Amino acid sequence: MQFRALLILAMASLAVAAAVEPAAERDIAVPAELVGRACVANGCKCASGTIPGIYCGSCLRPPVGNGAVITAKLNVHHVYQCGSGGSCCDYGTASDCMTPHARCASGIAGSG
């Protein structure tokens, strides 16, 4: 009976972990400098319609004036990974954010 309870608990833990795993898109190219970092699901959210990719918190949605790509838990000095459905995780600070060379993936689907 204890084995069954342990098995159920393990399965439930895996299901919860999978549910909070943000931006699970396999086709997102993660830059080499981020590969060793954890991408933390901290409650951040990506704007509806955002193309999955890597974004600095300072990135704006096209056209200009539509607001930020990251809509919750925003830090303009952090790098985020946006997935489908608004999923998001935070890699932490990056030196290119808030510079002209900030990584701002592709913006919003259909904005193109």
Q: What is the pLDDT of residue 101?
A: 85
Q: What is the pLDDT of residue 9?
A: 54
- Chain segment 36-52, per-residue pLDDT in tens: 889 999 999 999 888 89
Q: What is the pLDDT of residue 33?
A: 82
Question: What is the rounded distance in angstroms from the CA atom of residue 77 to the CA atom of residue 28?
Answer: 21
Average pLDDT over residues 10-20: 47
3 pLDDT exceeds 90? Answer: no
Cis check: omega of the bond before 52, within 30 degrees of 0: no
Categorize the per-residue pLDDT at 82 as very low, low, confident or very high, splitting at 50, 70 and 90: very high
* Residue whose C-alpha is closest to residue 23's, from 79, 104, 90, 83: 83
pTM reported for the whole predicted model? 0.70
* Residue whose C-alpha is closest to residue 103's, from 81, 75, 88: 81
Structure token pair of residue 100: 């002209």
Q: What is the pLDDT of residue 19?
A: 41
